Amino acid sequence: MSSAALETKETVAGLGEKYKYGFVTDIEMERAPKGLSEDTVRYISAKKGEPDWMLEWRLGAFRRWLSMKEPTWARVHYPAIDYQDAYYYAAPKNTPKKQSLDEVDPKLLETYKKLGIPLHEQMALAGVAVDAVFDSVSVATTFKEKLNEAGVIFCPISEAIRDYPDLVKKYLGTVVPVTDNFFATLNSAVFSDGTFVYVPKGVRCPMELSTYFRINASETGQFERTLIVADEGSFVSYLEGCTAPKRDENQLHAAVVELVALDNAEIKYSTVQNWYPGDENGLGGIYNFVTKRGDCRGARSKISWTQVETGSAITWKYPSCILRGDESVGEFYSIAIANNYQQADTGTKMIHLGKNTRSRIISKGISAGKAQNTYRGLVSVYGKAENARNFTQCDSLLIGGECGAHTVPYIESRNPSARIEHEATTSKIAEDQLFYCLQRGIGQEEAVALIVNGFCKEVLQQLPMEFAVEAQKLVGISLEGSVG
């Protein structure tokens, strides 16, 4: 095992608390006035020093949003959100450009340490470039040089808007249009930062790219925006990890992620989402309403989503693939865990437009406590998509008798040559499985983690090695107290 992987493991093992990321960093924040108006949008745009075209884009989105209604079709329940009762921009005060990590506020670095991603160590050991987003502003970007050599652009999206306006203009909003849905439109109006990646033709990105998002300031929605473009014949693997501190109030997180893969390009996008889920009584937690979509724009392109969703009070998320290019491939590997009062409504859409397109969906849903977990998936084959293939495997595991698992597959086929397979299972952690583990000396919590990790194995195998270890631990932590 590489020393980097060991590092991850030890850091995780060293943190015993149930929700170990529930601390608040005490740093002075600069905020936009509370509420949402055209002025808020202008404030954000001005803070970012954006060009006019960007401001106009945002304002267009905002006006559109005013006429939209919050969707209600998901199997989730929450009190109405007051969009005027939140801050839409928060940044640590005094953040002039940092030339190196030494200039970064030590308190911030301490935060990252607690999160298990010590930047110094990562730089030295892991070969992982981390673009760390602390609330709304990127404070540290590492490994730029090595990426520069390869011609890979990996930077905060606010920087990309200034430095690579043509690339951003060409691709932003082309996968998730400004008008796509209520939360995506809101994001388009007020997004404060996020990540931009461009991998040029024929380049295999020399390292895993990773961003850790973190909500810190209270009453602040986080609206990050990610855009990844893989030009012809290129490859990139990107991992995002998310954690947020414990608070009694609910916080909104409405991100948009757009992926574009051109001819023969491949994007692998992995998420480990561990936002604060609320306490055992359902108090607090993040509302995670996220729009993620990948466009396999080129022939033989491939986009693969892997997600481990253990956190958030509510998860509303459907990372999708538009299989536009002939012979393009879309994959979705998902683990969604809902414990206590968590609600998860997650799945994917595979839209087959091109000939010989293939998609594969492996979903593992785990419900415990009083949680409700819904898989919602769409496989759609358009008329011109000759020989489209889909395979869907949808497994649910129930722990205890008060939780629920729901599977809602939508299948549409307008081409008779399509072959669509759907398999679904629901099972319980059997008492005899638990007893068998106990009898061999494995304690209750470890036994549940072991059995659940076994259940999720196919998906965990998709994660980059270093993160698979952390994800396995997370699976165990998020189910603590679910049995007995």
Residues that bind other proteins (CB under 8 A): 430-433, 435-444, 446, 450-451, 453-458
Residue closer to other proteins by CB (options 78, 435) is 435
Least Å distance, CB 441 to other proteins, is 4
Least Å distance, CB 456 to other proteins, is 7
Residue closer to other proteins by CB (options 291, 367) is 367
Residue closer to other proteins by CB (options 24, 430) is 430
Residue closer to other proteins by CB (options 78, 436) is 436
Least Å distance, CB 105 to other proteins, is 38
Least Å distance, CB 96 to other proteins, is 47
Residue closer to other proteins by CB (options 244, 368) is 368
Least Å distance, CB 113 to other proteins, is 25
CA distances (Å), 100 to each of 123, 132, 133, 143, 213, in order?
Answer: 12, 13, 16, 11, 20
Residue closer to other proteins by CB (options 456, 463) is 456
Least Å distance, CB 364 to other proteins, is 10
Residue closer to other proteins by CB (options 152, 456) is 456
Least Å distance, CB 453 to other proteins, is 7
Residue closer to other proteins by CB (options 20, 364) is 364
Tokens of 154: 């990996």
Residue closer to other proteins by CB (options 86, 450) is 450
Least Å distance, CB 451 to other proteins, is 6
Phi–psi pair at 58, nearest 5 degrees:
-60, -45
Least Å distance, CB 273 to other proteins, is 22
